Structure 1
């Protein structure tokens, strides 16, 4: 995605995370067939016209969840909602459903400016986008949101990425290594394009979103991925959508005013 193209020095500070075991999870599985992708159809590619893409997931029949940095350009300016296209379950040029975006909202504590992504900025790196038309199909079921994962939890990620942009890939098993200032540290694979990818915990056969891929960092000399906090930050965004009227015509959008932010010295690479 656009923001992802800017490479920044990557270091995690904090002893507990830096010394964590970072053995890789399971290999990526390309979801090329209808059978392979069953249950994951609500994950899709979020394209910015002529600019790049991220990954996003349906959490309501008309709402998408992705990373906040996916909706800013290289100049840290918010991209107009009508420049986005969401292709749900895109595989080899065909999508289960294609929709435009009528409005987007970014978390107030996410700061797109500066020369890098601070740890607490990663924690708030979420955006909710409203589709121009709901997706109501039996095969495409929005994902529920679950409580944040804890160290040792097994998780899964479905993503699009560099050199695998035409079909989603599933990493069926990777692990939560810990948390730092609200950011989730994982040994899951991430690369350019996988920003915004939903992080799942599967319970009783049901996939539930517990985080969103935000950044790549280094821990103990090995690459790790960083995920956002969800519960409270996401509820703030959903409450905002509930409090405002219908989106205006022409792809207009509403943006929550930026709030106070803490600072740390850690910086990351955007996937």
Structure 2
């Protein structure tokens, strides 16, 4: 039976604990000797190795230094941070409302210089119009059974998205052609959304790619929605939760996948042709 997403965080914690325990044993150290070298009580070593207490970055660096493998520290630090922020249910993220969820990303957006987004079924959030975003967020509220503050949430999303007009940032946004046809809101709202793609795709800071449905040389299947913030964080959106990936080796895999997807997309006039075709299909 596969591990459920809700247990993946604990599995990740246990993975970090197991790697730390292996380093201690490979170094020939007892629990007491490791603790003495790190300057803490041996009970803390046991709690860390049994995944009952998550180690801090400083704990991990001391542990690796005492074991004689300081070069292992940074990957383990990243793995530990990833375990603690790996899985957050949407029901928890939206407990203060959908508008608050939109605003919670502002600090991350401000700290990011290169945004890379892949969306298989929706217009990327950074390019959503108010009517489209309102319809999407309202449906999310119904699914999650939370109060519907979609009007305020859509306005907050648009305010947050104004970052695409600021200098010093780049946005590489990929969407599947099929997402141009999944209608959210009424026909006028969808037409406005598609029309905005023609405008936003021409912005100097934006590279908008559309992956055609008819692609006999497709190199990669359509994965889940994911956002890459610089090279430091990948945020993956599932139906029930948000998964944050911080381990360098996993980020590298998403970067590789993104480049493969980017190579299958069309841009400029070819992308506009696909968008105009979707607009015509609304009539």
- Whether TM exceeds 0.5 here: the answer is no
Larger Rg: 2
- Normalised by the length of structure 1, the TM-score is 0.29
Q: Which structure shows the bigger proportion of residues in strand conformation?
A: 1
Q: Which structure shows the bigger proportion of residues in helix conformation?
A: 2
